[in-house]
Structure 1
Amino acid sequence: MSVLKHRSIAGITLPDSTIAQQATELLLEHGTEFIYNHSLRVFLFSSLNGQRRGLKYDAELLYVSAVFHDLGLVPHYSSPDKRFEVDGANAARDFLKGHGLAPASLQLVWDSIALHTTIGIAEYKEPEVALLNAGVGLDVVGKGYEHLSAENREAIVSAFPRDNFKQKIIPTFFSGFAHKTDTTYGNIKADVCAFMIPGFKRKDFCDEILHSPWSE
């Protein structure tokens, strides 16, 4: 499970800067092989999407965003009370602060990770944010699958196998916030809780309105 043997896949060059290497080392140390392979596929899918659409983006920042986007699910980075996306975004920002990047770059990576599951908003932000969201969407639910050639798909999955992805990804998600299911209120991960917990009662926005302390 090492990215070092891969330099270019499906015509996309994997960043090999010090920042990229150190980010990868953290993913290998604290993540799982399943999350590692998913994260690298996401970077490649995101990059191919950007290439197809002619978007200008920072490949290194996109790579770091992809590497950290699910690290909020793992114990080392998981908080007791924040959304896993925020945990991953905070971890990436803390990591990048030690490399002297501009505040705008730190914020861009934070936004990319924090919003990567926020359907209907992420796609309208900066290219890095939109591309990470699209790459995740392609790998998880097949959004944009029709734009991926069979040759590129096979090259990417061969390098970073899906390994029974459909059956494993939902429990993997759940493991990252089973201890804080309230953080799924108002986002798609509430569906994961409903799938994994028999009789799960999710918070309801209309109930929140009707039971607020206001008299009218």
Structure 2
Amino acid sequence: MNQTTANATQAVAPSGRALPTRMLAGVEVPDTPLVSRAIEYARAHCEPYLFNHVMRSWLFAAAMAGKDGTAHDPEVLAVVTLLHDLGLAEAFQGPLRFEVEGANAARTFARAQGLDEHRCQLVWDGVALNSTPSICLHKESEVALGVVGVGLDWGGWGFDAIPTDVMANIIEAFPRLQMKQRFTDDVCRIARTRPETTYDNFARDFGLRFVPGYDPGSSVDALMGAPFDE
């Protein structure tokens, strides 16, 4: 399917009702109040580089869904991708690993918008698991598509599946703004200040490589230190 035209598959709500759409950077996306509010929520809480990252992630996810004809809830996919990095935003930092802090914030947003509990749970799962693709890819389509879009923008996975002109349009509309270095800085800040939240997630890799004295603990230590005789 050619995402550069307005003839993309029409977005459909879970009820079967057709949703209004618009073309954004060559990709057809749902144009509803919920999606607009999610965009503004992300814009209000994310630094410019991070806002552009979540917008690109959404557009990549929507493009991949259209290309493959994957049935999904396009509004939930939008909320998942647009809010997937709230845990990196200053307003939502806390004692839990950043994906869970972000997932809790995204679910609170979803509930405030009137989404039912099933859709809210999809939002939570999509955000909490977005950095664990080995699990996320086997979840519901909204969750799996979300990590496809995020992974494409973050690590280039699936890069060749996006038409060259669409890729150029998306990056022109939402420039990367030193994404690699800025994201590294944000994750290293977590590894430096809250290492206990990083022992079992990808932030550990950044801490080990870039943060002097980083010591997050180990799951091996937990097993060997368990209060049993053997």
CA RMSD, Structure 1 to Structure 2 (Å):
1.6
What pairs with 1:1-216 in structure 2 (closer than 5 Å)? 7-79=22-94, 81-176=95-190, 178-216=192-230
Equivalenced residue count is 209
| C-alpha contact (below 8 Å) 2:204/2:216 kept by paired residues | yes
Gapped regions of structure 2 (runs ≥ 5): 1-21
Amino acid at match of 1:180: R
Indicate how the Cα distance of structure 1 residues 30 and 45 shifts in structure 2: closer, same or farther if over 3 A, else same. same
CA distance in 1, matches of 2:113, 2:133: 31
Segments ≥4 residues shifted beyond 4 Å: none
Amino acid at match of 1:39: V
Indicate how the Cα distance of structure 1 residues 9 and 21 shifts in structure 2: closer, same or farther if over 3 A, else same. closer
| C-alpha contact (below 8 Å) 1:73/1:175 kept by paired residues | no
Q: Normalised by the size of structure 2, how large is the TM-score?
A: 0.85
Amino acid at match of 1:184: T
Gapped regions of structure 1 (runs ≥ 5): 1-6
2:13 matched to which residue of 1? none
Q: Normalised by the size of structure 1, how large is the TM-score?
A: 0.90
The DSSP-based 3-state class of the residue aligned with 1:14 is strand
CA distance in 1, matches of 2:171, 2:114: 34
CA distance in 1, matches of 2:134, 2:160: 20
CA distance in 1, matches of 2:190, 2:89: 6
Structure 1 vs Structure 2: percent identity of aligned residues?
A: 36
